[in-house]
Structure 1
Amino acid sequence: MEISEEKDSQIGSNLKNNTKLQTGTDTETTTSSCNWSRFSEWVHCMCVVTFDLELGQAIEVIYPEKFTPSEQEKTNICYLAFPDSNSGCMGDTQFHVRLRLAADGSNHQNDNNKNTSLSFEHKRFNTQCNSVQKADKAHYWGFVYFRQRKEASLPRGYFQKSFILLTRLPFFNLFYEILSQLAPMYFLHGLSVIESACYQISNWPSLQAGELLRLSLFETVYQTVIPLANSKGGNHISNTTTTTTTTKTTIDNLNCNFNKNKKLLTCDVYPILQTKNISSVSEIDVFRSLSCVISNVYTLWELVLTAEPIVVIGSSPADTSHMVQSLVSLIAPLEFCAESRPYFTIHDSEFKEFTREQQQQGQSATTTVPPGIIIGVTNPFFVKLLKDWPHMIRIPMNDCFNLTSHLAATTPTSSSSSVPKTSSFTGTSSSSSSSAAANKRINSSTNDNAVGLITKYKPFLKKDKALIKKILIGVNTKRPEHVQSALLRRNFLELTQSFMIPLERYMASLMPLQRDISPFKSAPSPNQFKQDDFLATLDQSGPHLTSPLKGNWKSLYQRFFNSPNFKGWYETRHKELQRTLQSIQLQALSGADLNQWAQGKQEVEIIDMIIKLKQKLKLSSSINENSNNSCLSVNNEEIIVGTTTQLNETRRKLLYQIESMKQSLPDDLKTILFDT
């Protein structure tokens, strides 16, 4: 959302009159007044990257400084903040990137390093939300607003600068809205915009799923609901924008903290309050990107499901980042556990890792295969470098691409009438001629100028031609893009669920019987997952019962078993089974008749049981009473034990058990136990 010139001028005037944030003492006052713990739940930091004649791309601003990235991360941010020179992106361009957190100055993930661990608030949030909204413990999401304009007064004749918002949260719709609000203001008014925005973000409500969140930023209040895990979508709100004239009293109530610190914006900045509803923080309009590969969309679903290497080639990082995210969303709600890079450059610290082929031992010989990653690039160099990758997507230029003609060449049921051009992300470059030239340069780097999916992969399932025909009819009738996206999203959601339901059902069968869980023994482990046993269940309860697609489902499952997506899903479900078993065992222990058990036992056995009960009580006491799902840590794993009410009842019973068993011990041992 662009800020109008009138509002922008008014806000800038208030910033100049009511802030002194550039000076050292005033900055310290502002920093001390911010709730940085709350701020970091939503945003890690904000950066500005400029082009230096001597250094090249260099970071100009990092705020707040206490959250400064590592040197390796800063280098990656610098290169990812600007489109490749061949892209020719003039005007304003928005896109997003994903960069790995560095540990101990390296570019490799280290789960034991504090930089790669999530805060308690993020861990709690991850237990509440769906996998596609989880905070990323190993990567930052970077939302970039790049501006390039001709300016004769500058040495190179161009103004080139990027505003970057770093976060752990994949909230694309929310952060693109915020980015389009903050970046133009920063380019006009400077650092005070960032500092004031950070102060306001630090006063946002805590990150929470399942509740209406009101996020105030300058003259706009963003309203959204992050759905709870496994919710049916009933807590979404519609995308609307309302403008309301607000009284001075209401503004003061909303932003009363500003008047207490004259270094910050006063309430007079907000004579008009705009409320913008965001129906989903993460669901993008997938049709914008998938329209050029709609005839192969079922093949792409299989490739993403099995984490096949895919290179996306476009003329702008706005196009590649949107396409990569659209591909990943095809398998929602299943989490994509392989690597993905919405925009990637040759300067990235992971360049060698992602472009180096890996050795794979086969039945007859050793072959080399690319790593499992979906990568978006704009540099023509990658066309030659990755020419041996098995799957490539070429994104066509929007102003020279006719969707219906493209489908007519690939789909027998399609029509050949003219349709309007499709647009990419809201942040695509404002200069179509320069982007067209960039697209021409990319195409000239290879003999194959075809657009869309280029692959020799033979899918296991037959595509649903009825859906493709429905999408094409929507194009001819000028059906809105968000409706087309909803059709695609619902179809592939149902397809993914049909694929995963047999796996979920089999995984639930690995749970030991409740009668085998004893309060006097350690909690049992889930039974082993056996692939052959699972495949044997498909004839009776396979995906063919819920999906209209026909094909070789068993072979698709076998390919899925070798992918990081299966590994990630299995590890998550296995931990959930362990948590359930721990919870059942803990509740059984609190309700057991330990006095009867203690009869005939030696004192050392009774003392050992009391110590174990105290350990359980100590672990349960460490649970945050305010969280929706109470959890405790056992062997560095979080164990879900139920709601706060259930937890308090379990703790009360454990205390009673401890006191009751102490009565059977001699007085001297009672004293020792009371002191420990």
Structure 2
Amino acid sequence: MDPLDGFGSPRREEAAADSRSGWTRFFSWLECVCVVTFDLELGQAIEVLYPQDVKLTEKEKTSICYLSFPDSYSGCLGDTQFTFRLRQSVGRQSFRDDVYNRDAPATLETAHFFGYVYFRQVKDVSVKRGYFQKSLVLVSRLPYTHLFHSVLQIIAPEFFEKLEPFLEAVCNEIDQWPNPSPGQTLNLPIVGIVLQVRIPSKTDKPGGSPSPLPAPTLLPTIHELDLFKCFQSVLIHLQMLWELMLLGEPLVVMAPSPTVCSETILALVSSISPLKFCCDFRPYFTIHDSEFREYTTRTQAPPNVVLGVTNPFFIKTFQNWPHIVRLGEIKMAGRLRSHCIGFIHNKMCQLQHNKD
């Protein structure tokens, strides 16, 4: 008998907790669904948490609150989607992870929490601050960026109209999904739409995919990003960036929005696939992050981590880091936009401007 499965073991206790809550299949996809709002007295706070009996530490709740809103300097009006990543509390590892990680590609293992955010900020004269600000967040161990952002695009607009009853119905529907078993093609119903996905397996061959089953909506991938879209502004530096990822060098991406910085970080980390990125990475990092002091100390060499930031405060904080990528949007004539890229590598700066 596996000692980890014995009476009173972490596996047995967590399995029992999941069984009592009645959300067994839900937990195989998501840890929880959060609604984060801005409270004039408390600041960012969790307004709704599903399932209600989910166990999050205070540190995890605080991190989710701060990472679920774009930095105030981003000026994100309308709807914004982005991704963050944070450490799980010690001892939280689930028994389901062992089974999943055994068959999943190394790049898709479940050692951290990912937060998939749909943030809405619109003018509202009925609110004291003058703006409605709220985030719908899917928290999961699974690094399925494309899948969960596709789900958010489906459910978030309707949630902001129908609120909690709709969210509860969505969670109950996710609880009917089959478990994410590597190598399986699954149909996932969500508010009248069926998403068909294939869960990657470590035995998959590069470029190979099975014939899809009939389904209204086929997602060609659950985790991959549009790499050309993410890298189009840094193509001239792509080989060097790829080498930095292989070496696990400290690197900061400074961008005008959480969307740009988080997609760029995730694309950089995935650029060395099928190799697993060996260090820590944070698609969206703020001054409120629980690892802020750890990653910004000047008493020792920069840690081997890749960070995505939007706050100008970090320009000075990270000025001694060896590798910095700066991305910024420039309005061109008409409605066209281009990017200004600054790449600082070992104290040598190369600056490229896209001209009209």
| TM beyond 0.5 | yes
**Equivalent residue, structure 2, for 1:98:** 85
Higher relative contact order (CA 8 A, sep 6+): 2
**Equivalent residue, structure 2, for 1:298:** 239
**Equivalent residue, structure 1, for 2:353:** none
Judging changes above 3 Å, is the alpha-carbon distance between structure 1 residues 78 and 225 closer, same or farther for their aligned structure 2 residues?
A: same
| Paired letter, 1:88 | G
Partners of 1:37 and 1:398 lie apart in 2 by 48
Post-superposition CA distance 1:240-263 (Å, at most 9, x none) = 9x9xxxxxxxxxxxxxxxxxxxxx
1:149 equivalent in alignment to 2:122: yes
Partners of 1:193 and 1:32 lie apart in 2 by 24
**Equivalent residue, structure 1, for 2:62:** 75
Could you say what secondary structure the match of 1:451 adopts? Answer: strand
Q: Is the 8 A contact 1:98 1:140 kept in 2?
A: yes
Post-superposition CA distance 1:223-243 (Å, at most 9, x none) = 0112321321422568x9x9x
Shift of 1:193: 1.4
Judging changes above 3 Å, is the alpha-carbon distance between structure 1 residues 296 and 95 closer, same or farther for their aligned structure 2 residues?
A: same
**Equivalent residue, structure 2, for 1:60:** 47
**Equivalent residue, structure 1, for 2:146:** 173
Shift of 1:287: 1.3
Partners of 2:26 and 2:82 lie apart in 1 by 23
1:85 equivalent in alignment to 2:104: no
Partners of 2:151 and 2:253 lie apart in 1 by 27
1:388 equivalent in alignment to 2:320: yes
Could you say what secondary structure the match of 1:82 adopts? Answer: coil
1:370 equivalent in alignment to 2:302: yes
Shift of 1:276: 1.1
Which residue, 196, 199, 208 being the options, matches 1:226?
199
**Equivalent residue, structure 2, for 1:343:** 284
**Equivalent residue, structure 1, for 2:7:** none
**Equivalent residue, structure 1, for 2:10:** none
Partners of 1:43 and 1:311 lie apart in 2 by 29
Post-superposition CA distance 1:197-236 (Å, at most 9, x none) = 1111111112111121011111110101123213214225
Could you say what secondary structure the match of 2:25 adopts? Answer: helix
Which structure 1 segments of 5+ residues have no match?
Answer: 1-30, 103-109, 243-273, 359-367, 402-419, 424-449, 459-676
**Equivalent residue, structure 2, for 1:320:** 261
1:183 equivalent in alignment to 2:73: no
Which residue, 346, 352, 355 being the options, matches 1:456?
346
Larger radius of gyration: 1
Could you say what secondary structure the match of 2:328 adopts? Answer: coil
Partners of 2:119 and 2:189 lie apart in 1 by 24
Partners of 2:108 and 2:102 lie apart in 1 by 11
Partners of 2:254 and 2:231 lie apart in 1 by 14
1:197-236 superposed matches below 5 A: 197-232=170-205, 233-235=207-209
1:118 equivalent in alignment to 2:91: no
Judging changes above 3 Å, is the alpha-carbon distance between structure 1 residues 33 and 315 closer, same or farther for their aligned structure 2 residues?
A: same
Could you say what secondary structure the match of 1:166 adopts? Answer: strand
Partners of 2:39 and 2:20 lie apart in 1 by 33
Which residue, 167, 181, 184 being the options, matches 1:194?
167
**Equivalent residue, structure 1, for 2:12:** none
Post-superposition CA distance 1:169-211 (Å, at most 9, x none) = 0001100011111211111001111111111111111211112
Please give the TM-score of this superposition, normalised by the length of structure 2: 0.87
Shift of 1:68: 3.6
Shift of 1:85: 0.8
Shift of 1:127: 1.4
Could you say what secondary structure the match of 2:76 adopts? Answer: coil
Partners of 1:95 and 1:316 lie apart in 2 by 9
| Paired letter, 1:130 | P
Shift of 1:350: 0.7
Q: Is the 8 A contact 1:210 1:235 kept in 2?
A: no
Q: Is the 8 A contact 2:332 2:338 kept in 1?
A: no
Question: What is the aligned residue count?
Answer: 329
Q: Is the 8 A contact 2:85 2:115 kept in 1?
A: yes
Judging changes above 3 Å, is the alpha-carbon distance between structure 1 residues 398 and 128 closer, same or farther for their aligned structure 2 residues?
A: farther
| Paired letter, 1:348 | D
Post-superposition CA distance 1:646-667 (Å, at most 9, x none) = xxxxxxxxxxxxxxxxxxxxxx
**Equivalent residue, structure 2, for 1:442:** none
1:201-600 superposed matches below 5 A: 201-232=174-205, 233-235=207-209, 275-357=216-298, 368-397=300-329, 399-400=331-332, 421=337, 451-456=341-346
Post-superposition CA distance 1:52-74 (Å, at most 9, x none) = 11111111001102214111111
**Equivalent residue, structure 2, for 1:483:** none
Could you say what secondary structure the match of 2:53 adopts? Answer: helix
Judging changes above 3 Å, is the alpha-carbon distance between structure 1 residues 38 and 59 closer, same or farther for their aligned structure 2 residues?
A: same
Could you say what secondary structure the match of 1:340 adopts? Answer: strand
Partners of 1:375 and 1:236 lie apart in 2 by 35
Whichever structure has more helix as a proportion of its residues is: 1
Could you say what secondary structure the match of 1:194 adopts? Answer: helix
Post-superposition CA distance 1:3-57 (Å, at most 9, x none) = xxxxxxxxxxxxxxxxxxxxxxxxxxxx999841111010110000111111111
| Paired letter, 1:224 | V
Whichever structure has more strand as a proportion of its residues is: 2
Could you say what secondary structure the match of 2:122 adopts? Answer: strand
Partners of 1:219 and 1:276 lie apart in 2 by 11
Post-superposition CA distance 1:350-396 (Å, at most 9, x none) = 100111146xxxxxxxxx42000100111100000110000000112
The runs of at least 4 consecutive aligned structure 1 residues that moved more than 6 Å come to 31-34
Partners of 1:457 and 1:129 lie apart in 2 by 39
| Paired letter, 1:390 | P
Q: Is the 8 A contact 1:52 1:58 kept in 2?
A: yes
Shift of 1:280: 1.1
Shift of 1:422: 6.8
Please give the TM-score of this superposition, normalised by the length of structure 1: 0.47
| Paired letter, 2:285 | F
Could you say what secondary structure the match of 2:216 adopts? Answer: strand
Q: Is the 8 A contact 2:88 2:113 kept in 1?
A: yes
Partners of 1:210 and 1:99 lie apart in 2 by 27
